[in-house]
Amino acid sequence: MARSTFYYNAKRLGQLDGYDTIRERICKIYHKHHGRYGYRRITDQLHADGIDINHKTVQKLMGQMGLKAKRKRQHYRSYKGELGKIHRI
């Protein structure tokens, strides 16, 4: 690795990337909806609020924060279909 590249990256580690306010907003939307919103719905909500941001950026930031949308719980279904022919006598 070139010396200049090493020091360039070492200097960038301590700097902010400019997405702090967006991160807060994403976290607020995520928790408001109890973790049910994924990056697509959060992006749509941000656009509705007037924040113009790409969905890939929202996905990246959610990954950095460890936020994942919860899946819808499946309900128990006891029906397994017909078991066979039952003859009444």
| 75 vs 81, more confident | 75
pTM summary value? 0.70
Chain segment 20-39, per-residue pLDDT in tens: 999 999 999 999 999 999 99
Please state the domain count of the chain. Answer: 1
Above 90 in pLDDT, residue 2?
yes
In a domain, 54, yes or no: yes
In a domain, 78, yes or no: no
Mean pLDDT of 29-52: 96
Is residue 58 within 8 Å of residue 43, measured between CB atoms?
yes
As a whole number of angstroms, the distance between CA 40 and CA 36 comes to 11
How would you label 22-44 residue by residue, b for 16+ Cβ within 10 Å and e otherwise?
A: beebbeebbeeeeeebbbeebbe
Q: Which of 63, 78, 50 is nearest to 23 (CA)?
A: 63
- Whole domain around residue 60: which residue ranges? 18-65
pLDDT at site 48? 97
In a domain, 73, yes or no: no
Q: What average pLDDT does the structure give for the chain?
A: 90
- Distance from first CA to last CA of the chain, Å, rounded? 86
pLDDT at site 5? 96
pLDDT at site 82? 74
